[in-house]
């Protein structure tokens, strides 16, 4: 008598298959993003890499343990009910995975040959990506090919070792990704510093365009910038709510000060690939960690002051 597929069996195998595909895809996406940052091409910017790394890490740390957990439940169920080895849902999911693994290998080789014939991007980074895709597909095919043929009560020691190796690779990829995008504390510090830079830029705009150009002079303090009609209120530090530092140095010069939680990327890691083309504004607000003051001098020829009445 053929074993019947119950709802539990169907969703266990469906869940395992989805977890597998998401885990493999996330792992490769993470590896690709890390390689893009480690081995950048000339003139390339890594604007989308950080988001891809975070998304891949989030998916991998959830779906890979879920895959191991569901696979363990399935293995225990097979040991108790060996007749379930021939369930249609089990064989279908395994054959589908084997088919996709073979398809990925074929596409991977085709892309390699195409790039080789066209002499396009034959860099170490490209070959490493090809090898990782090939390795992931081969390892998936090997594990699921064994799963298809093994006896439910037997599990070879070398296959268990392969699962541990896969786990080590995944942990290494996650660690490398975190090393590039930073810890939650580091990202929080960067976001706060970005807000501080935006606040200082806004204050500077008010000083130059509203005070200097419209009134012909710089104010003694920042309180003069508050304007209930235009709705502008002088921002304060996003973390401590303290006022930003301001000092009028001369008729045409002033300085703005803030306390930063971390150094800006161009100072902290000058050799890193910038996320986007470096703009004049980002260079204009480069800062170290801690208290930093920015000296600004207004060019009267460039910024015409209103005549003093």
Is the pLDDT assigned to residue 240 strictly greater than 90? Answer: yes
- Each residue of 101-159: pLDDT tens digit? 999 999 988 988 887 777 666 788 888 998 999 999 999 998 888 888 877 766 666 67
- pTM above the 0.85 mark? no
Predicted pLDDT of residue 5: 78
- For residue 277, pLDDT beyond 50: no
- The model's pLDDT over 43-69, given as tens digits with 9 standing for 90+, comes to 565 556 788 899 999 999 999 999 999
Sequence-separated (6 or more) residues with CB below 8 Å from residue 105: 134, 137, 138, 141
Q: Distance (Å, rounded) from C-alpha 53 to C-alpha 299?
A: 44
Which of these ranges, 10-14, 57-61, 65-69, 81-85, has the smallest mean pLDDT? 81-85
Tokens of 143: 């594990």
Distance CA 267, CA 37 (A): 18
User: Quick one: pLDDT at residue 254?
Assistant: 96
Angle at the Cα of 292 from the Cα atoms of 261 and 231, rounded to 5 degrees: 85
- Among candidates 201, 205, 203, which has minimal Cα distance to 221? 203
pLDDT digits (tens, 9 = 90+) for 178-219: 888 888 888 899 999 999 999 999 999 999 998 998 888 999
Q: What is the CA radius of gyration of the chain?
A: 29
Distance, CA of 291 to CA of 260 (rounded, Å)? 6
pLDDT for res 75: 87
Contact 296, 253 (CB under 8 A): yes
Task: Give the length of the chain.
Answer: 309
Predicted local confidence at residue 280, as pLDDT: 43
């Amino acid at each position: 008598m053929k074993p019947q597929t119950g709802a539990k069996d169907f969703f266990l195998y469906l869940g395992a298959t989805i977890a597998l595909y998401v885990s493999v895809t996330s792992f490769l996406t993470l590896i690709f993003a890390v390689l893009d940052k480690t081995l950048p091409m000339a003139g390339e910017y890594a604007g989308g890499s950080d988001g891809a790394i975070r998304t891949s890490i989030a998916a991998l740390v959830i779906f890979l343990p879920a895959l191991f957990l569901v696979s363990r439940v399935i293995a225990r169920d097979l040991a108790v009910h060996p007749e379930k080895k021939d369930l249609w849902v089990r064989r279908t999911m395994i054959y589908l995975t084997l088919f996709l693994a073979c398809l990925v290998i074929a596409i991977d080789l085709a892309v390699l040959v195409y790039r080789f014939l066209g002499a396009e991007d034959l860099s170490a980074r490209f070959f490493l990506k090809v090898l990782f895709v090939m390795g992931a597909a081969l390892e998936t095919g090997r594990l699921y090919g064994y799963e298809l043929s093994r006896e439910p009560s037997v599990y070879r020691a070398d296959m268990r070792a392969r699962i541990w190796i896969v786990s080590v690779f995944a942990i290494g990829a996650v660690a490398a990704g975190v090393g590039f995008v930073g810890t939650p504390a580091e990202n929080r510090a960067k976001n706060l510093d970005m807000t501080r830079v935006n606040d200082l830029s806004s204050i500077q705009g008010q000083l130059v365009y509203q005070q200097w150009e419209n009134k012909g002079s710089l104010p003694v303090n920042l309180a003069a910038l508050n304007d209930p009609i235009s709705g502008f209120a002088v921002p304060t530090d996003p973390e401590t709510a303290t006022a930003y530092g301001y000092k009028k140095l001369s008729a045409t010069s002033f300085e703005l000060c803030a306390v930063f939680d971390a150094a800006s990327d161009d100072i902290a890691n000058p050799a890193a690939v910038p996320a986007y083309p470096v703009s004049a504004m980002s260079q204009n607000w480069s800062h170290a960690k801690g208290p930093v003051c920015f000296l600004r001098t207004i060019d009267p020829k460039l910024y015409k002051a209103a005549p003093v009445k």
